[in-house]
Structure 1
Amino acid sequence: MKAFLFSVLVLFSCQSLATDSSAKPRFLVVPKTVTNPFFDDVEKGCLQAAAELDVECVYLGPEEADARYQDQIISQQIEQGLDGISVSVINSRVLTHRSMQLAKQSQIPVVTFDSDFSEKSLAADPKLRHSYIGTDNFQFGFQLGRLTQALKPQGGSFCIITGHKGAANLVERINGVYAGLGFNNNSGKSDLWEELSRCPIYSDDDAQRSLNNLDRMLRLHQYESKLLDVIITVGAWPQTLEFKYSDVVSPHIDSLASKRLLLIFGDTLEVQKRLLAQGLAHGNVGQSPYDMGYQSIYTLYSIHQGKAVEELIHTKLERCVFGQTPLCQ
Structure 2
Amino acid sequence: MARLLMLLIAFSLLPLSCGYGKELKFAVVPKFYSVFFDQSKTGCVDAAAQIKGVECIYRGPELSSVRLQDQVINQLIDEGVDGIAVAVTQSKYLAENSLKRAKEVGIPVVTYDSDFDASIDEDPKSLRLAYIGTDNFALGQSLGEELKKLRPNGGTLIMQSGRPDSPNLNLRLMGVRTALSGKTYNTPPGELLNNDLGWTEVREPLFNFDQLSQAVKQMESVMKGKPVKADSFVAVGGWAQNDVALYREMMAPYQDKIDNKDIVIIITDTSPEQLTMLKDRLAHINIGQSPYEMGRQAILTLYKIVTKQKYDEIIYTPVTFCTQQNYETCEKPTGM
Give the structure-1-normalised TM-score: 0.88
Report deviation, 1:81: 0.6
**Number of equivalences:** 303
1:162–1:201 contact (8 Å) kept in structure 2: yes
1:255–1:261 contact (8 Å) kept in structure 2: yes
Aligned-partner Cα distance in 2 for 1:192–1:324: 29
Alignment of 1:101-120 (within 5 A): 101-120=100-119
Aligned-partner Cα distance in 2 for 1:93–1:233: 25
1:216 to 215, 221, 239: 221
Q: CA 1:68/1:325 → structure 2, altered by over 3 Å: closer, same or farther?
A: closer
1:207–1:237 contact (8 Å) kept in structure 2: yes
2:134–2:318 contact (8 Å) kept in structure 1: yes
Aligned to 1:169: 168
- Equivalent position SS for 1:119: coil
Aligned to 1:299: 301
Aligned to 1:84: 83
Instruction: Give CA-to-partner distance per residue, 1:14-58, whole Å, 9 cap, x none.
Output: xxxxxxxx9510111100111x10012100000000000120111
2:282 to 277, 280, 283: 280
Aligned-partner Cα distance in 1 for 2:317–2:217: 31
1:199 to 176, 198, 204: 204
- Unaligned runs of 5+ residues in structure 1 are 1-21
Aligned-partner Cα distance in 2 for 1:180–1:122: 29
- Unaligned runs of 5+ residues in structure 2 are 1-20, 186-190
Aligned to 1:19: none
Aligned-partner Cα distance in 1 for 2:264–2:37: 27
Q: Partner letter of residue 32 of structure 2?
A: T
- Equivalent position SS for 1:33: coil
Aligned to 1:145: 144
Q: Partner letter of residue 169 of structure 1?
A: N
Q: Partner letter of residue 197 of structure 2?
A: D
Alignment of 1:69-80 (within 5 A): 69-80=68-79
2:289–2:317 contact (8 Å) kept in structure 1: yes
Moved more, 245-254 or 294-303: 245-254
1:257 to 250, 256, 259: 259
Moved more, 132-141 or 89-98: 89-98
Aligned-partner Cα distance in 2 for 1:205–1:131: 25
- Equivalent position SS for 1:284: strand
Report deviation, 1:82: 1.1
Instruction: Give CA-to-partner distance per residue, 1:75-132, whole Å, 9 cap, x none.
Output: 1111111110000000011111211121111101000000001134274453110000
Instruction: Give CA-to-partner distance per residue, 1:182-203, whole Å, 9 cap, x none.
Output: 342379652121111x221111
Report deviation, 1:324: 3.5
Q: Partner letter of residue 39 of structure 1?
A: F
Aligned-partner Cα distance in 2 for 1:24–1:177: 44
Q: CA 1:327/1:157 → structure 2, altered by over 3 Å: closer, same or farther?
A: farther
**Identity level (%):** 37
Q: Partner letter of residue 271 of structure 2?
A: L
- In the TM superposition, structure 1's runs of 4+ consecutive aligned residues that sit over 3 Å from their partners are 122-126, 185-189, 324-327
Aligned to 1:15: none
1:122–1:128 contact (8 Å) kept in structure 2: no
Aligned to 2:231: 229
Q: Which has the higher helix share?
A: 1
Q: Indicate yes or no: 2:54 matched with 1:52.
A: no
Q: CA 1:326/1:192 → structure 2, altered by over 3 Å: closer, same or farther?
A: farther
- Equivalent position SS for 1:71: helix
Aligned-partner Cα distance in 1 for 2:36–2:242: 9
Q: CA 1:122/1:135 → structure 2, altered by over 3 Å: closer, same or farther?
A: farther
Q: CA 1:125/1:272 → structure 2, altered by over 3 Å: closer, same or farther?
A: closer
